[in-house]
Amino acid sequence: MLPNDALDRLIEGSKKVADLCRENKVQQWEIIATQSYGHQLDIEAGKISLAAGGGDGGYGIRVVEDGKFGYAYLVDVKSADNAIQEALSIARISPSIKGFDLPSNQETKEVKGLFDKRILSVGPEDLLKQADSILDEVKSLDKRAVVTGGGLGVSATAGVLTSSEGIEHHGITTSHGIGVQVSIDENEQLTSSWQGESSKQLIDEIPNCVANSVEWAQKTRDPIKVDNGAEDLPVLMTSEGLGSLFSTVIPSAIRGERLSRMEAFWSGKQGDNVMAKDLSLIDNAIMEGGISSSSRDAEGVPTRRQIVVDSGKLVGSLWSTRDSAKLVAEGKIEHATSTGSASRRGHQSPPVTSCSNLELISSSKSSSMDELLQRMDSGYVVNSVMGAHTANPTSGDFSVTTSSILRVEDGEVIGAIKQAGLSGNMAKALSRDVFLGDEIRVSGGSMHIPDILLMQALRVNPI
């Protein structure tokens, strides 16, 4: 899947671009080079509808002169000189940031589990076999069930980062992802559920997400009628249900730039309790096999496992090199340095501050699903939401809808309801009376969270 010389060609190309930067007497420069290849197939209406493969890649150049930076990208090294001149011209008309320099080289340790050689030999036929197995598995679990959407994919990415400050970093990462939308359409009643799983390692068995998707398509059938109207009640959100909301509002609330500009719901609360006292939030960029793990960030700074919320208190924030220098220069904060939290969307984009693998943990004993239901007494279980992207990351407010929701009374699930609105404030919901389940799953990109019982600040409006 990935040409044997892909990494060598990127290293060689980066050296040529670096030589041109030196010839042009660029004060500081940073070169990112990537090449990705992959195979994927789609599933629609219970059949494999599309199999495709291909690659993408190129070079990105960031130059810094007297605190000013410019960025340009290219595909062919032959156009590197033009790209360098473009980056320089952008830098020279950009505002200067006092104290902004590219990071110097520092030692770092390898993060394991980011590459699986077996994925390199996975071809379209292998994905077709896996897709057939998934289709068969769904039918074996429920003859009525059909995979109405989803797909499978594998990829490998070779990457190189080199800079004028002595950083030389390169390697290959792999990934394998599976997602299924399972539907049951019977007796003029359609129910469905989406579940997915992704890994840096080969997924060589049928993942749990397939059975989970079938289960939730079954659970939400034969909805009951609820006449209570809108109620402020406890809500047990599954990892999958909370993941999209969590990934929309929480990463924004821990970025140093937004905190310092008073644009996050935790702004001005360093050292204060912002979560329930047993909860801690960790940004773990060195997690073995983590979807967003790396030994260095997008600027070459060594990554780390950083505690952001410790026993309920906000004790940290995330910074990139440029953002930290800019906010200090503006006087928004007295001191800030990179926390190894820069990332890129690819070679076409300069680095920005972002989280990696977010972990939500508790010092209290975790609970089984049955134990969480008993604690809830009366409320709802929500497995997925629609409209999470509309949540307000500044205030934490959200208003979404769900058709994957169960009614709970006296600690027992009494049935599904057809649809409901769910609204609340994520900051308030996490501030107290929060109870975590005993199985942590990856959802919402790279959010490592379990099922969570939120006892306050949520309103459910059955439709």
Bridge-based pairing state of the strands 342-343 and 313-314: unpaired
Name the nearest CA neighbour of 444 among 392, 388, 368.
Answer: 388
Q: What is the Cα–Cα distance from 200 to 120, expressed in whole angstroms?
A: 12
| Per-residue pLDDT reduced to its tens digit, 422-451 | 999 999 999 999 999 999 999 988 999 999
Q: What is the Cα–Cα distance from 294 to 79, expressed in whole angstroms?
A: 29
Name the nearest CA neighbour of 194 among 175, 174, 220.
Answer: 220
Bridge-based pairing state of the strands 231-232 and 452-454: unpaired
Dihedral sign for Cα atoms in the order 83, 88, 90, 96: positive
| Per-residue pLDDT reduced to its tens digit, 24-72 | 999 999 999 999 999 999 999 999 987 888 899 999 999 999 999 999 9
Bridge-based pairing state of the strands 235-237 and 441-443: unpaired
CATH topology of domain 6-217: PmbA/TldD fold (3.30.2290)
- Give the DSSP per-residue string, 132-183: HHHHHHHHHH-TTEEEEEEEEEEEEEEEEEEETTS-EEEEEEEEEEEEEEEE
Domain spans, the chain: 6-217, 224-463
Dihedral sign for Cα atoms in the order 108, 109, 114, 118: positive
Name the nearest CA neighbour of 366 among 415, 455, 437.
Answer: 437
Is the distance from CB of 391 to CB of 398 less than 8 angstroms? yes
What's the pLDDT at 227?
83
| Per-residue pLDDT reduced to its tens digit, 218-227 | 999 999 998 8
pLDDT > 90: what percent of the chain?
95
Q: Give the residue ranges of the chain where pLDDT is below 70.
A: none
| Per-residue pLDDT reduced to its tens digit, 131-154 | 999 999 999 999 999 999 999 999
What's the pLDDT at 1?
81
pLDDT averaged over every residue in the chain: 96
What's the pLDDT at 359?
98
What's the pLDDT at 139?
97
Query: In sequence order, what are the residues at sequence separation of 6 or more whose Cβ sits closer than 8 angstroms to the Cβ of residue 129?
Result: none
What's the pLDDT at 229?
87
**Three-state SS letters, the chain:** CCCCCHHHHHHHHHHHHHHHHHHCCCCEEEEEEEEEEEEEEEEECCEEEEEEEEEEEEEEEEEEECCEEEEEEECCHHHHHHHHHHHHHHHHCCCCCCCCCCCCCCCCCCCCCCCCHHHHCCCHHHHHHHHHHHHHHHHHHCCCEEEEEEEEEEEEEEEEEEECCCCEEEEEEEEEEEEEEEEEEECCEEEEEEEEEEECCCCCCCCHHHHHHHHHHHHCCCCCCCCCCCEECCEEECHHHHHHHHHHHHHHHCEHHHHHCCCCCCCCCCCCECCCCCEEEEEECCCCCCCCCCCECCCCCECCEEEEEECCEECCCECCHHHHHHHHHCCCCCCCCCCCCEECCCCCCCCEECCCCEEEEECCCCECHHHHHHHHCCEEEEEEEECHHHCCCCCCEEEEEEEEEEEEECCEEEEEECCEEEEEEHHHHCCCCEEEECCCEEECCCEEECCEEECCCEEEEEC
What's the pLDDT at 303?
98
Beta bridge partners of 381: 236, 406
Quote the distance between the C-alpha of residue 179 and its chain's center: 15
Q: What is the Cα–Cα distance from 145 to 267, expressed in whole angstroms?
A: 47
What's the pLDDT at 445?
86
What's the pLDDT at 53?
86
